[in-house]
Amino acid sequence: MLRSHIDVSCYAASQITLPLKAASSGAVSSSIAYTEMRMKQMVTPVEALQIVLDNVCALPPEAVPHAAALGRTLARDVVSNLELPPFDNSSMDGYALLAADVETASPDTPVMLRVLATTAAGDAPQHRVTRGSCLKIMTGAPLPPGADAVVMREETRAENEGEVLILQAARVGQNIRRAGSDVARGERVLRAGTRVRAAEWGMLASLGQHQIEVFRQPRVAIITTGDELAAVGDELKAGQIRDSNSWTLRGLLQSCDAVCAEVRHVRDEEETLRAALRECAATCDAIITSGGVSAGDFDPVRDVLPEVADVRFWKIAMKPGKPVMFAVMNASDGHAVPVFGLPGNPVSVMVAFEQFARPALLKMQGRNAARRVVLRACVEQSFDSPDGKEEFVRARVSPDGSDGWRAHVTGDQGSGRLSTMTAANALLLVPADVTHVEPGTSLNAQMTDWPEIE
């Protein structure tokens, strides 16, 4: 079983406490008291993110076949052992020749050359170009010996059999891709921590990298809580709602290249939840719970998680997503597993995941870039914001037509209104000391998706 390697060496010193199960009775009391203190403190979003990142490390690397490398994160630098392109070749369909032969060529004074042969991509050159001769050549074909330029076919006119008229002068090196002009032998082409996108995948193929060393993807368990939840295909009974959070979280995990290893729904029963947390910690690298983390009478995560894990914070000065709990759980084999206790409201789940879980999961993959792009956008509507809390306002950001960006708030900002997220591609970041925003105000917009032209 592959396990997480989040060991205490990567924790900030101020975050280390004794594991409850392994400590003496006196240490247990001290650790519990420390946990209770954390439960009473409210942290800012910036502080919360720092605590989360202080408590996760990159997972061990593994080698995967080239075909499986897309979306993965490189665990080591990639250094080329060859030149790209590996030989001088033509960048055009045309004629390989000596530039000196056609220095006076023009449509009015064409130069006639003898055509020795035709060479296509994949052919080995069989002829040497000499004064007065040329070789018909296709794009990508090796440049024949002696040739120092290529004239494109559109600047020529076929004459008699085996002859061609060149209608334009050529300079040395014209339309030639030199060996090593893209990548030199020994050059570092890709850095560790780079995500393999389509371009990197193609580059690795060009370099003949058939086995790629990448960081292991975190295996994440999703646990949704609540007696009121029904499955997507179930008929709703009185008082029930369908479980959307587990599907939203699956999509969010996929968007940051993490693996959804397990999905469980747990009723509001503490013992069942306790067992689920321990079982998931034994097989997964991280756990995300949804619901049961607030201050109500039926919020089992709030009560159970401090019993089985070391809580690092509970409650963040933000809207939506105030009752987020983050803890580090000791699995049975001694490895540490981060647990993100997210609220139950669907928007709170998405916002909290974006701010805390996503950066952590990317760091666990060794990713260099773990933050969303932030733009400055002018708000089109006025709205109020709570005092003392940083608010993440759902908005649609689009070009304003003059090299800037505008933001349209997508509706009422209630944390249960998932429709405002389906219409949004960004979160406007309203500072904690701002209580009212007027139209035309410029705010940071954290892009969750890029705008598309409709």
* Residue range 241-266, pLDDT digits in tens: 889 999 999 999 999 999 999 999 99
Tokens of residue 445, six digits:
């917009």
List the CATH code of the domain at 8-60+217-364: 3.40.980.10
Least confident of 2-11, 72-81, 139-148, 284-293: 2-11
158 phi, psi to nearest 5 deg: -65, 140
pLDDT tops 70 at residue 17: no
Q: CA dist 146 to 134, 239, 263, 315, Å?
A: 9, 83, 66, 74
Tokens of 54: 């202080």
Dist. CA 362–CA 131, nearest whole Å: 60
The domains spanning 8-60+217-364 and 374-447 adopt the same CATH topology = no
User: Is pLDDT above 70 for 454?
Assistant: no
Residue 432 confidence (pLDDT) above 50: yes
Q: What is the pLDDT of residue 21?
A: 34
Stretch 395-414: mean pLDDT: 93
What is the rounded CA–CA span in Å between residue 272 and residue 424?
36
pLDDT (average), residues 339-367:
96
pLDDT of residue 306: 96
pLDDT of residue 19: 34
The SS3 of residue 154 is helix
**What's residue 272's pLDDT?**
95
Percentage of the chain lying above the pLDDT 70 cut: 91
Q: How confident is the model at residue 161 (pLDDT cuts 50, 70, 90)?
A: confident
pLDDT over 90, % of the chain = 78
The larger pLDDT score, comparing residue 332 to residue 237, is at 237
Q: Mean pLDDT, to the nearest integer, of 370-399?
A: 95
Provide the pLDDT for residue 364: 97
Domain boundaries, the chain: 8-60+217-364, 64-80+190-215, 89-177, 374-447
| 227 vs 96: which has the higher pLDDT | 96
Burial class of residue 331 (count of CB atoms within 10 Å of its CB; 0-12, 13-18, 19+): middle
CATH number for the segment(s) 89-177:
2.170.190.11
**CATH 3.90.105.10 is the classification of domain 64-80+190-215:** yes
Residues contacting residue 395 through CB under 8 Å, at least 6 positions apart: 377, 379, 407, 408, 409, 410, 424, 425, 426, 427, 428, 445
Please count the CA atoms within 13 angstroms of the CA of 291 that sit on its side-chain side: 26
Q: What is the pLDDT of residue 75?
A: 98
- In this prediction the pTM is 0.85
What does the pLDDT average to over 99-128?
96
- Mean pLDDT of all residues in the chain? 90
The whole-number pLDDT of residue 4 equals: 39
Q: Residue 1's pLDDT band (boundaries 50, 70, 90)?
A: very low
Orientation of helix 300-308 relative to helix 270-283, angle to 10°: 50
Cβ(157)–Cβ(109) under 8 Å? no
- pLDDT reading at 3 higher than 50: no
What is the rounded CA–CA span in Å between residue 397 and residue 384? 19
CB 324 within 8 A of CB 356: yes
Which superfamily, per CATH, for 374-447? MoeA, C-terminal, domain IV (2.40.340.10)
pLDDT at 22 over 70: no
**Which one is predicted more confidently, 298 or 160?**
160
Residue 324 contacts residue 342 (beta carbons within 8 Å): yes
